Structure 1
Amino acid sequence: MSCTISYKTVWNKHLNNKKKLLSPTEDLLALVFRLPERGPELLREVLLERGWEDYEAGRRDREDWNLYWRTTRFCNSEYQNLMPWQRLNHHPKTAEITRKDCLARNLTRMRATFGASVYNFSPTTFILPNNYIRFLAEYNKLRVSKGLSAYWICKPVDLSRGRGIFIFEDIKSLVYDCTVIVQRYISNPLLISGYKFDLRIYVCVKSFNPLTVYVHQEGLVRFATEKYRLSSLRNLYAHLTNTSINKFGPFYKTEKESVGQGCKWTMSKFRHFLYGQDVNELLLWQRINNIVTLTLLTIAPSVPPSPNCVELFGFDILIDGRFKPWLLEVNYSPALTLDCQADIAVKKGLVSDLIDLMNYTWVDGLRERAQMRPTLAPRLTDNRSRHVSEVTNHDDAETRAQREHLAEADISSSTPDIPPRGLGFKPSTVSWKLPHIHRYVVFSVVLCHKTRGHIPPARVGDFIRTFPFNKATLKASQHTLDVRTVIQEVNKLTAHFSSGRLNKMNPE
């Protein structure tokens, strides 16, 4: 029997949920992960709990692994030599939104192309020293023509964890010795009991080709640990929400009004807070979805095809006093350290759901045999290889057939005329004005009851698919990404939430 026939037999046995076609002495290999010494310990812990094995370079072949996770970038050759059973935790070229100056340039370009009314979620930004003259003109215009004091925040373009950040009002205080961005400081943030906060939204891009985006239900609300005052711009504990700064603050362990000890809430607790506010919650979360989608659109057409890669981003969102969300930055390899109970509640489930989203099956355990069979181990560098990868990494015959006819999938009606389905609720329990006790999916993704196409799946654990969100966006992302059509659909969906029409719909 040839290798190809043997492989098909094993695959068909798997599809029919029968016993694996291996002799009693041939046990399937455990899945293997590669993680640098300083890699996230939480990831190591979750994978070991799930029965994975740690990669040992001296005892395993070079390609004998299933997941390679790094907090730094991969080189081009590592993408080109990727095998069907392997996954990387980064797509190429994502620094175009995770480096502050690159993000600013891309948002400026999109604003010029599609209009400031669409790309209106980022504060006015200048890259210094290159844009110093433009910044100076804007600074003087605000002070002279409007007679107002404007506040600005300065950030090094390639540092994280709040390092090197300061806020200023007088340009004489602007001193820097590296490339920085200067942004208009959002001086009217929404406060909780006088404390400033922002949201850490976890976003997984399953694919850029076609664009497939998931947002995690849970996330973190990060607080400053001293009350917000514009009269004390030098007090970083009042103005910055980075945990790496606030955990050293004098009031970190103090019981703070409403906020409590520490500096973090879970997103569930924040939803509870929003329930008592006079705010259109669905519209707020939809606007946050829009920020994620529109930001990813800035780079999606330029990211090369990278099968078997995923990317976890940390989107930092600030909500102002008018409940408008603003994008602060996008984080590459967001921290998975556990500093407090909120981290434990959020991040362990996040990592586990992310592994589920990678679509591992027991077939990936055949990697050693596949290495010895050239016909079963194509490189993922062309369409044929991509198809092999997709077929070997999804888990049922229906999914395989759907993937072959993805262009015909009807995952949503063209307009959001029905409430979400398939999100873990029975129709009788779904309401557009849900009590806060429901574990409601706060990221408003409109799906259709005609779910004959489950590709991409609507939900994996607490990851909810936010793009594509209807038939038009699915079609627009199939081949060459049609950015203009996607933006039109985003605007249509937002208009429905803004008008309140969805609140009045009968869930039946």
Structure 2
Amino acid sequence: MNDLQGLGSVTSNIVSWSPKRHNMRKRNSLRKRKEAPGPAVKPLVFRVDESTPTVVQSVLLERGWDKFDRQRQGVEDWNLYWRTSPFQMADHVNLKPWQRLNHHPGTTTLTRKDCLAKHLANMRKLYGKTLYQFTPLTFIMPDDYTKFVHKYFKEKRHLGTKPSYWICKPAELSRGRGIIIFSDIQDLVFNGTHVVQKYICNPLLVGRYKCDLRIYVCVTGFRPLTIYMYREGLVRFATEKFDLGNLQDCYSHLTNSSINKSGASYWKTKDVVGQGCKWTLSRFFSYLRKWDVDDLLLRQKINHMVILTVLAGAPSVPIAYNCFELFGFDILIDENLKPWLLEVNYSPALTVDCSIDVSVKRSLVHDIIELICLNGLRREERKGTRASLVRSRMPYARSNQRKHHTAPGPLSCVSVIQFTNRMCTKNNPAIQRAIDIRPKPTRTSQMREMMNRREGAKSNSRPRAQHMPHKVLSPYTPLTQSQFCKMKGTLGVFPEPNGHAGNFDLIFPFNEATFGASRNGLNVRRIIQELQKLMNKQLSSDKS
């Protein structure tokens, strides 16, 4: 009887089981696992002040970032601090590996008009006038007043009755403030430091209107020197037709948007230009192509100009990490299609005044966020803030003697990832399998993962020394790159020259030699030699 009961129990169990019911139970079990509460994913946090452009805040919020709030977050719980004014050196020294600042210390050597003029003059002495002939003849007042007077009257004698045109700019001001254009030296009036330059009186005109180009350049590090140029940009027009007979008409000679948007002709439909005073850079190059202008050659010339300009100031920039710098290069094209550097702007304006601004500047900020999330942190950043303080005060000459500057810097970008994937997977099946099955993370998700690891480390570990978070964090480095960097002899690998992030193109370093020459210090002479080779190669290919 007991055997029969046992048999009945087994039979009932067999009857009660079915594939359909089993699959249903399996699905319910999986659903419960998925719905199980896990650790909350914290958004990235940005910090601002009253000077932070509105478009920057808008884009970051759009990307899912949180705005820093002292009431809700700890003093170190932020990832990006973006503001218009420069930071104190103490801000750089106390940075944590998960934080970024939008300014690099010492970059005013490139953006102050008098400092830039001095650096470029020094480069002309060292490497020849031919290479650095993209800036107008410049004098710094009041120091060079005697030299200017001598040059002015010498040119007057040479020209006879023809006028000589000059422009005077305050060294520290922007947005066209305090600029005067003159032909008679008696009209030259200045108070404080100014630069006087030969006025380019044969600009390329579009519908008889003068224009210049605003080129956006992002330097993500000065050792190794890493320069990205934005493909899109702004073309800014004067709102009155160019007229050398009226040098006092700022709407005819100055292209600053802050000036021209208040002009009487701003909203008028102007010949070729149309309404307003701005085009996109892509529209401008499209316009040039209609006149059979080689826009690619013009872009190459601008690339070389940018590299040579940054090289002029880079040796005087102190070492600092976890920061980047966005520059606005103002470039004028003359009627012979030669680009001239007018100035380099610190914190180029990100105000949005028209639809052109919206399309260019919002995309620019999006791509900057992609770029800084893309760039890996250096090994030195994990060694504590005290060592960073020492290095930030060392000049390049002394820092070259240190042996710990061996890891690649901000060159750890998408081009490096592509390069390492191709190189290391040839002989490593394990890495290939990891690449094949690994989901492709977004830059933002990588940063969020880093912050969540930090939060987990805070809650799960005992109190330790202050430098321990540097070991816990895994900064924005994809799996394949981190594995590749463990392999012997890969720290000096140079990325492909077509590396880019969004609309940013890597223009320096452009080969393995220039990467090596800027990695431990800055061998400017070697870089100049490589750049001359590149320029000669491009020139010969254009002629053929």
- Shift in CA distance, 462/255, structure 1 to aligned 2, threshold 3 Å: same
- Cα displacement (A) at 1:500: 3.0
Match of 2:50 in 1: 37
Q: Once structures 1 and 2 are overlaid, which stretch shifts more, 356-365 or 41-50? A: 356-365
- Cα displacement (A) at 1:476: 1.4
Match of 1:409 in 2: 493
Match of 1:341 in 2: 355
1:74 equivalenced with 2:87 (yes/no): yes
**CA deviation vs aligned residue, 1:177-225 (integer Å, no higher than 9, x gap):** 2221111101110111100000000000011110011101100000000
Matches within 5 A, 1:54-453: 54-147=67-160, 148-359=162-373, 361=446, 362-366=448-452, 367-369=454-456, 378=467, 392-398=475-481, 401-402=484-485, 407-411=491-495, 447=498
Structure 2: how far apart are the matches of 1:330 and 1:371? Answer: 43
1:489 equivalenced with 2:530 (yes/no): yes
Kindly provide the amino acid, as one letter, of the partner of residue 506 in structure 2: R
- Cα displacement (A) at 1:400: 5.5
Kindly provide the amino acid, as one letter, of the partner of residue 149 in structure 1: P
Structure 2: how far apart are the matches of 1:142 and 1:122? Answer: 18
- Shift in CA distance, 161/400, structure 1 to aligned 2, threshold 3 Å: farther
- Cα displacement (A) at 1:102: 0.8
Structure 1: how far apart are the matches of 2:309 and 2:67? Answer: 35
| Structure 2 residues without counterparts, runs of 5 or longer | 1-35, 374-443
- Cα displacement (A) at 1:396: 2.7
- Cα displacement (A) at 1:284: 1.4
Identify which of 499, 508, 519 aligns with 1:467: 508
- Cα displacement (A) at 1:37: 2.5
Kindly provide the amino acid, as one letter, of the partner of residue 174 in structure 1: L
Kindly provide the amino acid, as one letter, of the partner of residue 139 in structure 2: F
Structure 2: how far apart are the matches of 1:308 and 1:262? Answer: 38
- Cα displacement (A) at 1:135: 0.8
Match of 1:3 in 2: none
Structure 2: how far apart are the matches of 1:82 and 1:102? Answer: 28
Structure 1: how far apart are the matches of 2:468 and 2:230? Answer: 31
Q: Once structures 1 and 2 are overlaid, which stretch shifts more, 392-401 or 103-112? A: 392-401
Match of 1:499 in 2: 540
Structure 2: how far apart are the matches of 1:248 and 1:494? Answer: 42
Structure 2: how far apart are the matches of 1:406 and 1:269? Answer: 42
Kindly provide the amino acid, as one letter, of the partner of residue 49 in structure 1: E
Is 2:109–2:316's contact at 8 Å kept on the other side of the alignment?
Answer: no
Match of 2:404 in 1: none
Higher-helix-fraction structure: 2
**CA deviation vs aligned residue, 1:58-93 (integer Å, no higher than 9, x gap):** 332111110001100101111000001000001110
Kindly provide the amino acid, as one letter, of the partner of residue 395 in structure 1: P
TM-score w.r.t. structure 1 length? 0.81
- Shift in CA distance, 294/379, structure 1 to aligned 2, threshold 3 Å: farther
Structure 2: how far apart are the matches of 1:473 and 1:35? Answer: 36
Is 2:51–2:85's contact at 8 Å kept on the other side of the alignment?
Answer: no
- Shift in CA distance, 350/377, structure 1 to aligned 2, threshold 3 Å: farther
- Shift in CA distance, 39/221, structure 1 to aligned 2, threshold 3 Å: same
- Shift in CA distance, 397/134, structure 1 to aligned 2, threshold 3 Å: same
Kindly provide the amino acid, as one letter, of the partner of residue 401 in structure 1: F
- Shift in CA distance, 379/195, structure 1 to aligned 2, threshold 3 Å: farther
- Cα displacement (A) at 1:375: 6.7
Structure 1: how far apart are the matches of 2:529 and 2:449? Answer: 41
Structure 2: how far apart are the matches of 1:46 and 1:185? Answer: 39
**CA deviation vs aligned residue, 1:278-317 (integer Å, no higher than 9, x gap):** 4332221111011110111112223222221111100000
- Shift in CA distance, 83/118, structure 1 to aligned 2, threshold 3 Å: same
Structure 2: how far apart are the matches of 1:376 and 1:313? Answer: 38
Q: Once structures 1 and 2 are overlaid, which stretch shifts more, 185-194 or 363-372? A: 363-372
SS in 1 for 2:125: helix
- Cα displacement (A) at 1:355: 0.2
**CA deviation vs aligned residue, 1:413-455 (integer Å, no higher than 9, x gap):** xxxxxxxxxxxxxxxxxxxxxxxxxxxxxxxxx54xxxxxxxx
Q: Once structures 1 and 2 are overlaid, which stretch shifts more, 327-336 or 275-284? A: 275-284
Structure 1: how far apart are the matches of 2:151 and 2:134? Answer: 19
**CA deviation vs aligned residue, 1:8-62 (integer Å, no higher than 9, x gap):** xxxxxxxxxxxxxxx9452132100011133111011100011100011233211
Structure 2: how far apart are the matches of 1:308 and 1:174? Answer: 44
Match of 1:9 in 2: none
Q: Once structures 1 and 2 are overlaid, which stretch shifts more, 310-319 or 139-148? A: 139-148
**CA deviation vs aligned residue, 1:329-379 (integer Å, no higher than 9, x gap):** 001011111111111111111000000111152233234455677779749
Structure 1: how far apart are the matches of 2:486 and 2:355? Answer: 40
TM-score w.r.t. structure 2 length? 0.75
Is 1:282–1:497's contact at 8 Å kept on the other side of the alignment?
Answer: no
SS in 1 for 2:178: coil
Match of 2:413 in 1: none
Is 1:371–1:377's contact at 8 Å kept on the other side of the alignment?
Answer: no
Structure 1: how far apart are the matches of 2:208 and 2:318? Answer: 45
Is 2:116–2:313's contact at 8 Å kept on the other side of the alignment?
Answer: no
Is 1:87–1:309's contact at 8 Å kept on the other side of the alignment?
Answer: yes
Is 1:96–1:102's contact at 8 Å kept on the other side of the alignment?
Answer: yes
Is 2:494–2:512's contact at 8 Å kept on the other side of the alignment?
Answer: yes
Kindly provide the amino acid, as one letter, of the partner of residue 394 in structure 1: T
Structure 2: how far apart are the matches of 1:209 and 1:403? Answer: 21
Structure 2: how far apart are the matches of 1:226 and 1:48? Answer: 39
**CA deviation vs aligned residue, 1:386-416 (integer Å, no higher than 9, x gap):** x998x5122233255249755442435xxxx
Please identify the structure whose Cα radius of gyration is greater: 2
- Shift in CA distance, 29/195, structure 1 to aligned 2, threshold 3 Å: same
- Cα displacement (A) at 1:480: 2.0
Q: Once structures 1 and 2 are overlaid, which stretch shifts more, 119-128 or 244-253? A: 119-128
- Shift in CA distance, 332/231, structure 1 to aligned 2, threshold 3 Å: same
- Shift in CA distance, 469/235, structure 1 to aligned 2, threshold 3 Å: same
Is 1:222–1:263's contact at 8 Å kept on the other side of the alignment?
Answer: yes
Structure 2: how far apart are the matches of 1:242 and 1:45? Answer: 25
The CA RMSD over aligned residues, in Å, is: 2.3
